[in-house]
Structure 1
Amino acid sequence: MRVCIIGGGLAGCEVAYKIAQNGFAVDMYEMRPIKQTPAHLTDYLAEIVCSNSFGAKSIKTASGLLKKEMKLLGSLVISVAKTCVVPAGRALAIDRTLFAKNITQIIEQHPNINIIRKEMKKLPVNYDLVVISSGPLTSQDLENEILNITGKENLYFYDAIAPHIITQSVDFSKGFFANRYEEGLDYFNCVLSKEEYEEFYNALVKAECVAYKDFEKPRFFEGCMPVEELAKRGFNTLCFGPMKPVGLAKHGFKPYAVVQLRKENASGTILSMVGFQTKLTYKEQITVFRLIPALKNAEFAKLGSMHRNTYLQSQHLLTPYLNLKSMPNIFFAGQITGVEGYIASAASGLFVGINISRLLKDMNLISLPPNTMLGGLINYISQPKDTLQPMGPNFGLIETPFPKLEKAKRALKSMFDFCKSNDLF
């Protein structure tokens, strides 16, 4: 079978390398330097355009655990990163130019990988298996092609991401569970008095926001307006929007304002702040949102953001193996699937590469253990939910009732056993 990969970023390189190492030929299409993106500077594959950090190294952190799992699975990105390290304390930081140069050299020199520098405006018809790993800055023509096969309602062009909070860090004595206008206990309502709301509001409107990049134009839909932009319309605007207390008076009192938290995963280990998409800097988010009494000691699984992006509503479109339900020969990998961050992007490509290699060997597709970080991440983006918001590694994805270190140890044991039983070493 003929295989092609569209996009030579971290995910695309992981897919290509895994397939090639299993003895199969693959064509990789990369449009740079024929057509550049607004963010990339070179024609290297796997170019890192933002921070040069791949996150913490310790397995006590979600990022560190994911990297250890990827090492077990034979990750190209992790092995090359180890050769390009720059001092960064407890984090794995790299010389980005050397890293991209080394990845490019490995891919270019591999006898089973053919790199074609060409923009793919349409999906090729002369391949049996296609992997789309075109990243968050997918070209307009390819976006249109993806729209044709997925439907416009399933491709998002801007992240509107609210903060996600580790449930155990919420003070549930500072609010109550209730749904608006109906029976049910699906939402936890963090209550604020007028004085508490005033303190929160004043901090919010004065807080520093992340500057937009040249290729990001701040055009918002009303439904995904950053909370700080809404607040600047007037003191009580939020009280008629995401913080409205209406529909809750029957529960004994009417607070001046509420912030609703909703389960982000089935087990409820992560909660999202409803309607709180934001462009505040990470530091300001932590400071401002901890002014909400119930979130005074909040631990954030993910902080909010709003920026130019291209990603699928994978939960509607993709199987747990990251191929299209409607066209199983087309796989997606990288940030376009809804995973977030360098390492998660690369990890999704590694997973796809493993399964395509199995297809080429006439073997069944396989799922990762759900108590691993990568298994939890793949489950998160592919399991049913109304709306998918991009997600990076965090311990809330591992739905087991253990402390972080115990979760990590069990995850690595499960991943080791998985690799051994599936002959992945």
Structure 2
Amino acid sequence: MDILIVGAGLAGSEAAWQLAQRGHQVHLHEMRPGHLTPAHQTGYAAEMVCSNSFKSDDPNSATGILKAELRRMDSLVLACAERTRVPAGNSLAVDREAFSRLVTETLRSHPRIQWVEGLVETPSLSMPTILATGPLTAEPLAEWLAQRLGQPRLFFYDAIAPIVERDSINMDIAFRATRYDKGEPDFLNCPMDQETYERFHRALMAAPKADLHDFDTPFFEACLPIEVMAERGLETLRHGPMKPVGLTDPRTGRWPYAAVQLRQDSLAGDHYNLVGFQTRLKWSAQQEVFRMIPGLEEAVFARLGSIHRNTYVAAPEVLDATLAVRNVPGLWIAGQLSGIEGYLESTASGLAAAFSVNRAAAALAPAPFPRETMLGSLLHHLAHASMKHFSPVNAMLGLFPELPDGTLDHRALKRAGGARGLKQAKGAAYRLRALEALDRYLS
């Protein structure tokens, strides 16, 4: 069957691969590079703009479980990420350009994928269609979608962190370490004492910021600009991205008062991004304020941070748990446009939409992923959350249905490993249940 996919981001790329592998003829439309967004810089598929991380590899975390599910379903995006990964402690991070190139080459060379460059404004829906145009959907298509859905669009603001050149970091001050020595010491850490931290906080609060034109549009809580976090109190950053715990400065033998972490952003190791430092500061202010960080006094910025408005749909009113649009036959929505947030989650939603379209093409009844899987729990939340408090969602253990009574001996686990031990045991139980449920579903 011929299938239209609009958007070659993470979700669209994964959907195209999954459907082509199942024998369908995929028409993959991508507006870039002819029509760039405020965040994208290339015409490659699956371009990562905000960070280069697919989050934690801890097997018992929500993202670790979701990765295990994707591996069992032959995820193209995850396979390409593994081949282009860069050191990032206990996380999966990639060289952005190498990763996007690899995804692009794989899709363009597939005999059943036709890559079409250009803007799609009004899909005809003459064939099954997946919209995976992301949070920066072009205005004509966004207006068409809003009219077809009969409801206004929702928005939130998202920000991008700056990247600095490795050779401009003062390694007499910065040191390599991961918190509590988990994994390899792959992060560069810039330590601050109390006086330096408070001076940096004051400068951050006073620095000029880019104007926002939609004052009723919220920030995404899971990716707040660094200055918005700073406005919530003097200690907020020390308990967030600048948390110093588990980072022993070799010059002092102690934890610093605060620390800025930098993560490798390229295979060559020549670029590092400031972890958690997404920002809406004006560009001149970014260079002035961020060079106050010890070790970054002479920093050369390969890319400065920025902020943009993201679009998503009111998923609980629009989508079912297979990502099909309830009142528009033949239309599915995947990726961040659907209300999913995060690179890994967007990839998973593209895979789920492909599974759903494949079943529809075979005239089979819709079959949502089991609630016991991380992917199933994510999509169930999209379809059934309360609209009153709905906002984009990441993979979280809290989305899972509770474990049956008696699965864990909470008292014994707390005695043995405290709250951390109980959390790990609970995550392991969720993982085992999720993969067993996925195997039954796939069979």
Instruction: Place the TM-score, normalised by the shorter chain, in its bin.
Output: 0.5 to 0.7
Is the alpha carbon distance of 1:39 and 1:159 closer, same or farther for their aligned partners in structure 2, counting shifts above 3 Å?
closer
Seen in structure 2, the aligned counterparts of structure 1 residues 48 and 160 have a Cα distance that, compared at 3 Å, is closer
> Distance in 1 between the 2:309 and 2:333 partners?
19
| Residue equivalent to 1:267 | none
Could you tell me which residue of structure 1 aligns to residue 98 of structure 2?
Answer: 98
- Residue 396 of structure 1 corresponds to 398
For the 8 Å contact 1:20–1:26, the answer to whether it is kept is yes
Does 1:37 pair with 2:31? no
Could you say what secondary structure the match of 1:376 adopts? helix
* Contact in 2 for aligned 1:75/1:350 (Cα 8 Å): yes
Distance 1:210 1:334 in 2: 36
Question: SS at the partner of 1:116?
Answer: strand
1:260-299 superposed matches below 5 A: 279-281=225-227, 284=230, 288=235
Give 1:372 deviation, angstroms.
2.4
CA displacement, residues 158-209 of structure 1 (integer Å, 9 cap, x when unaligned) = 3499xxxxxxxxxxxxxxxxxxxxxxxxxxxxxxxxxxxxxxxx9xx96947
Counterparts in 2 of 1:121 and 1:72: CA distance versus 1, 3 Å: same
Deviations 1:205-253 (A, max 9, x none): 969479999xx741243x5577xxxxxxxxxxxxxxxxxxxxxxxxxxx
**Which residue does 1:353 correspond to in 2?**
354
1:140 equivalent in structure 2: 139
Structure 1 distance, partners of 2:207, 2:365, is: 47
Give 1:408's match in structure 2, choosing from 424, 427, 430. Answer: 427
The Cα of 1:422 is off from its aligned counterpart by 3.9
Partner secondary structure for residue 92 of structure 1: strand
Matches within 5 A, 1:51-66: 51-66=51-66
Aligned-partner Cα distance in 1 for 2:237–2:212:
26
Q: How does 1:212-251 map to 2 (within 5 A)?
A: 217-221=211-215
**Displacement after TM superposition at 1:80 (Å):** 1.0
Change (3 A) 1:48 1:327: same
Q: TM-score, normalised by structure 1?
A: 0.67
Distance change (3 Å), C-alpha of 1:278 and 1:328: same
Are 1:316 and 2:317 an aligned pair? Answer: yes
> In the TM superposition, what are the counterparts of 1:325-404 in structure 2 within 5 Å?
325-387=326-388, 388-400=390-402, 403-404=422-423
Q: How far apart are the structure 1 equivalents of 2:321 and 2:350?
A: 13
1:117 and 2:111 matched = no
Taking only the aligned residue pairs, the percentage that are identical comes to: 30
C-alpha separation in 2, matches of 1:97 and 1:422: 35
- Partner Cα separation in structure 2 for residue 368 and residue 212 of structure 1: 46
Question: Offset of 1:282 from its aligned partner?
Answer: 7.8
The Cα of 1:72 is off from its aligned counterpart by 1.7
CA distance in 2, matches of 1:138, 1:60: 34
| 1:73 positional shift | 2.2
1:82-114 residue CA offsets vs partner (Å, 9 max, x unmatched): 100111111111111111111011111111111
Which whole-Å CA distance do the structure 2 matches of 1:212 and 1:54 have between them? 31
Q: Distance in 1 between matches of 2:89 and 2:323?
A: 35
* SS of corresponding position for 2:325: coil
Provide closer, same or farther for how the CA distance between residues 407 and 368 of structure 1 changes in structure 2, counting only shifts above 3 A: farther
Structure 1 residues 207 and 335: alpha-carbon distance in aligned structure 2, compared to 1, 3 A threshold = farther
Change (3 A) 1:101 1:279: closer
SS, match of residue 82 in structure 1:
helix
Distance (Å, rounded) in 2 between the aligned partners of 1:360 and 1:377 = 24
Distance 1:408 1:29 in 2: 39
**CA distance in 2: counterparts of 1:42 and 1:358, whole angstroms:** 33
Unaligned runs of 5+ in 1: 162-201, 227-271, 292-301
CA pair 395-125 structure 1, distance change in 2 beyond 3 A: closer
List per-residue Cα deviations over 1:125-174 (Å, max 9, x = no partner): 432x1100000111111111111111343x1133499xxxxxxxxxxxxx
Single out whichever of 409-418 and 86-95 deviates more from structure 2. Answer: 409-418
Structure 1 Cα separation of the partners of residues 34 and 341 of structure 2: 27
* Distance 1:212-1:98 versus aligned 2 partners, 3 A rule: farther
Give the letter for the 2:436 counterpart: D
1:353 Cα deviation (Å)? 1.0
d(CA) in 2 for partners of 1:321 and 1:7? 19
Look up the SS of the partner of 1:400 in the other structure. coil
Q: Residue deviations 1:59-95, cap 9 Å, x none?
A: 2322222212211222111111110011111111111
TM alignment of 1:174-213, pairs within 5 A: 208=204
Structure 2 CA distance for aligned equivalents of residues 332 and 58 of structure 1? 29
Q: Is the 8 A contact 1:210 1:279 kept in 2?
A: no
Distance in 2 between the 1:208 and 1:405 partners? 37
Q: CA 1:363 to 1:93, structure 2 compared with 1: closer, same or farther past 3 Å?
A: same
- Mapped to 2, the partners of 1:278 and 1:108 lie a distance apart of 35
**Using the alignment, how far apart are the partners of 1:150 and 1:68 within structure 2?**
34
Instruction: Give the Cα–Cα distance (whole angstroms) in 1 for the partners of residues 233 and 19 of structure 2.
Output: 42
Residue 417 of structure 1 corresponds to which residue in structure 2? 436
Asked if structure 1 preserves the Cα contact closer than 8 Å seen for 2:15 and 2:354, the reply is yes
Paired residue secondary structure (1:115): strand
Amino acid at match of 1:157: F
CA separation of 1:386 and 1:288: change in aligned 2, threshold 3 A: farther
Aligned counterparts of 1:210 and 1:77: Cα–Cα separation in 2: 41
Quickly say closer, same or farther: Cα 1:373–1:94, change in 2 above 3 A: same
The RMSD of aligned alpha carbons is 3.5
Q: Closer, same or farther in 2 for the Cα pair 1:141/1:321, shift >3 Å?
A: same
Matches of 2:438 and 2:25 in 1, distance apart?
Answer: 23
Give the aligned residue type for 2:39.
A
- The letter of the residue matching 2:349 is S
Q: Is contact 2:314-2:387 (8 Å) kept?
A: no
Q: Answer yes or no: is the 8 Å Cα contact 2:373–2:437 preserved in 1.
A: no
Deviation, structure 1 residue 37: 1.4
CA displacement at 1:283 relative to structure 2: 6.1
- Report the 3-state secondary structure (helix = DSSP H, G, I; strand = E; otherwise coil) of the residue aligned with 1:219: coil
Secondary structure of 1:144's match? Answer: helix
CA distance 1:206–1:379, change in 2 (3 Å): farther
* Offset, 1:406: 3.6
